[in-house]
Amino acid sequence: MGEALWDAVTALPRGSGVILRHYDSDRATRQAMLARLNQIAVRRQLMLVVAGRDALNGREVAGTHGRHRGALTAPVHSRRQAIAAIRAGAKLLFASPVHPTRSHPGTPALGPVRLGLMIRGLRVPVIALGGMHERRWRALRPMGVYGWAGIDSWTARVGHPH
């Protein structure tokens, strides 16, 4: 994403969130990105979640995205994973991919119906990922989807084509 990342992050509405993924970046690069993102997150009151490796000590954090002020988050792709994540203490779930997405080409999408069945009755907020934009989120809201996240939808908003 390059500089588009920073443009997109600074354009997010207050109270939004950022997930630092960048799995292939070396530890020093990821640490530098985390430090810069943290400064922006504090200033703009954004939630910052670190996915994959724990960027502070380099250990693997399997099956979790991270902690934000003590809240464990988890990526889920099925109802079984969602229930397991909640039992493990997750306070926020990232369900994906709801729609086909450039970041995971070829991965089968859940679609709105399977997403709705997957999250029905869960008592933690669910964020929809994968091919999301605001119109799609509005269609999912009645199912209980708390919010949405995306990559291309935000970079396109700040003038960067996808």
Q: String of b and e for 102-128 (b: at least 16 CB within 10 Å)? A: eeeeeeebbebeebeebbeebebebbb
Residue 64 — pLDDT band, cuts 50, 70, 90? Answer: very low
User: What's the pLDDT at 14?
Assistant: 84
Looking at the domain assignment, is residue 102 inside a domain?
Answer: yes
In a domain, 162, yes or no: no
For residue 77, tell me if it sits in a domain.
Answer: yes
User: Residue 29 belongs to what domain range?
Assistant: 3-157
For range 143-158, the mean pLDDT: 73
Decide: helix, strand or coil at residue 54: coil
Residue 115 lies in a domain: yes
42 located within any domain: yes
State the pTM of this model. Answer: 0.77
Total domain count for the chain? Answer: 1
CATH code (residue 51): 3.20.20.70
* pLDDT category of residue 31 using cuts at 50, 70 and 90: confident
